[in-house]
Amino acid sequence: MKPTFRACMAWLHTWSGLTMGWLLLAMTLAGTLSVFRPEINTWMRPELRTPSTVNPDMATQTAIQWLSIHAAKSPTWYLEAANARAPYVQALWLEGDAYQDHALDPQTGSPSPLRDTRGGDFFYRFHFELQLPYPWGRLIAAVAAMALVLILLTGIIAHKRIFLDFFTFRPNKGQRSWLDAHNLLGVAALPFHLMIAFTGALTLANMLMPWGLTTLYHQDFSALEHDFNPAGIERPASGKAGTLAPIGPVLADINHRFAPNRLIRLTISNPSDAASVIQAIAAPSASGVGVETHTLSYDGTTGTLLAEHKESRPIMGFYRFLYGLHVAHFAPVFTRWLYFLSGLGLAGVIATGLHLWTSKRCQRHRGFGFRLVERVNVGMIAGIPTAFACFFLANRLLPPSLATRAQIEVQTVFCVWAILLLYAAVRPATVAWRDLLGMATLACLGVALLNGLPVTPLQIGVGVTALSLICLFSYATWRMARATKEKS
């Protein structure tokens, strides 16, 4: 009998979901955490005891003073201005052959008072680079994003009774319960899932389809950059020494021109050369959704305005709107939490989908494929949250002055993840579920304890999230322990 269209879509949904599910789960959880990237950055630097009302201009000035002394030879400084969410300047500059990425203290401009950590930037980068060198990480992430769009669309077609089952969750019914949870989490936040998948695929689209750009620009990426940002001025170093103009008046002019928006990013190229350029980018407007719509370029030595560009091209506005939807830089606290919850919902959809694959097949012959998926499911679904929680633990437990501590923090994540995957591979599945979920509970408990008394809004946010996860994982551990006991 010829299979129906719906059956074909269900088949595609199942197998594309299985092959990309583990990767998508890791990307989704990292992306969900990066909604609170600045907050995680701040939490991971407990030395920041400054009041939240840091003067961003003063912080930028002190950072530039420090960089003028300690990174004068660097070809470019990339600075992210301090704000209420991240009360410090994040600076990136080239030192020798390696990029230095540090948070600079708003009072002194030096990175030394603050512990060296990747903070929330780890989750943000991992979300689309997967800790792999360029272009491999982005390429794989682009394929995964396209696959997510496909999985969602095929899932909608395969789901027969979307409206009938809309508010339905029937617990304690085995496979039926997992399918209900999968459908409920998928359908309830479907607009968010579709939006985040589509905009995610769009942001990495040139990785999969680079031919349009290469045909149009013939590898001349400076022309592309200029079309993208007409106010961006690229001047090669003149070879003559130069001094930066006093940054205070330049910042005052930037604030005046950007008002009511504020400065978000400052790029200073050739800072100790006569041909230096200061480029400023504005934060999203108070009412819009898009990103980076206003750019200014100044001569670095004189402080005179060289170019200004306010984005008014419809297609660029549309692209920036879609990109803005994905990164949610515009979002106030309430919307950020909605993004976070919807992201967790998407992770839940993927995890329940992966588990559903094994629970559908557990009554049949259990071949190597089944056992492999079963074990990897345990290592991924319970292992990723545990490994991510260990990143927070490592941040607080490693000595602040430890050399290369930022790298060690990241290594901790992958070591824990690998150990948990290995553990899941060698133990019976139900036992591994129980133990790994227990470890996830303990890791979240550790984060809650190291968070301290919830006094500030940041600590309250971390505390509430950690406690919610403790409840979820401890309940799951209890259920798995009961199942293990019944089985034995």
Residues forming the site for another protein (CB under 8 A):
163-171, 184-185, 187-192, 286-289, 325, 330-332, 334-335, 338-339, 341-342, 345
Pick from 281, 278, 283: which is nearest to 304 by CA?
278
- Asked if 175 and 335 count as a contact pair (C-beta separation under 8 A), the reply is no
Residue labelled with tokens 């205070």: 248
Nearer to another protein, 217 or 321 (CB): 321
CB of 398 to another protein, least distance (A): 36
- Whole-number Å distance between alpha carbons of 126 and 347: 16
Judged by CB, which is closer to another protein: 199, or 255? 199
Minimum distance from CB of 283 to another protein (Å)?
Answer: 14
- Residue identified by tokens 């998407």 is 346
Question: Alpha-carbon torsion 118, 122, 125, 131, what sign?
Answer: positive
Q: Which is nearer to another protein, 191 or 236 (CB)?
A: 191
CB of 217 to another protein, least distance (A): 31
Closest approach of another protein to the CB of residue 401, in Å: 42
Cα–Cα distance for residue pair 447/393, rounded to 1 Å: 6
How far, in Å, CA of 146 to CA of 341, rounded?
A: 22
Name the nearest CA neighbour of 193 among 10, 353, 378.
Answer: 353
- In degrees, rounded to 5, the angle at the alpha carbon of residue 84 between the alpha carbons of residues 303 and 444 is 135
Query: Is residue 48 within 8 Å of 58, Cβ to Cβ?
Result: no
Query: Given 3-state DSSP classes, what are the helix, strand and coil percentages for the chain, each rounded to the nearest 5?
Result: 60, 10, 30
In degrees and rounded to multiples of 5, residue 176 shows phi and psi of -60, -40
- Smallest gap from Cβ 408 to another protein, in A, equals 36
- Distance set, CA 400 to CA 40, 87, 409 (Å): 16, 19, 11
Strands laid side by side in the 294-299 sheet: 98-104, 89-95, 76-80, 263-269, 277-282, 294-299, 305-310
Q: How far is the CB of 188 from another protein (least distance, A)?
A: 4
Quote the distance between the C-alpha of residue 466 and its chain's center. Answer: 18
Shortest distance, CB of residue 202 to another protein, whole angstroms?
A: 17
Distance in Å, CB of 341 to another protein, minimum: 6
CB of 54 to another protein, least distance (A): 26
- Which CB, 129 or 292, lies closer to another protein? 292
Of the pair 190, 205, the CB lying nearest another protein is at: 190
Min dist CB 187 to another protein, Å, is 8
Spatial distance between the Cα atoms of 386 and 122, rounded to a whole number of angstroms: 16
Place of tokens 């976070």: 340
Whose Cβ is closer to another protein: residue 21's or residue 348's? Answer: 348
- Cβ nearer to another protein, comparing 311 with 409: 311
* Longest CA pairwise span in the chain (Å): 79
- As a whole number of Å, the CA-based R_g of the chain is 25
Nearer to another protein, 71 or 327 (CB): 327
Rounded Cα gap, residues 48 and 163, in angstroms: 50
> Which tokens hold the place of 160?
């027969």
CB of residue 262 vs another protein: minimum separation in angstroms?
A: 17
Task: Give least dist CB 132 to another protein, A.
Answer: 31
Distance CA 291, CA 199 (A): 13
List the one residue out of 466, 475, 468, 464 whose CA is nearest residue 446.
466
Nearer to another protein, 192 or 370 (CB): 192
Instruction: Compare residues 165 and 308 and give the one whose CB is closer to another protein.
Output: 165
| Nearer of residues 305 and 338 to another protein, judged by Cβ | 338
Strand, coil or helix: what is 233?
Answer: coil
Nearer of residues 131 and 168 to another protein, judged by Cβ:
168
Which residue, 284 or 438, is less far from another protein as judged by CB? Answer: 284
- Please, what is the minimum distance in Å from the beta carbon of residue 8 to another protein? 28
- Please answer whether residues 266 and 81 qualify as being in contact, where contact means their C-beta atoms are separated by less than 8 angstroms: yes
Give residue 390's Cα distance to chain centre: 17
Chain-centroid distance, C-alpha 120: 7
Beta-bridge partner residues of 241: 273
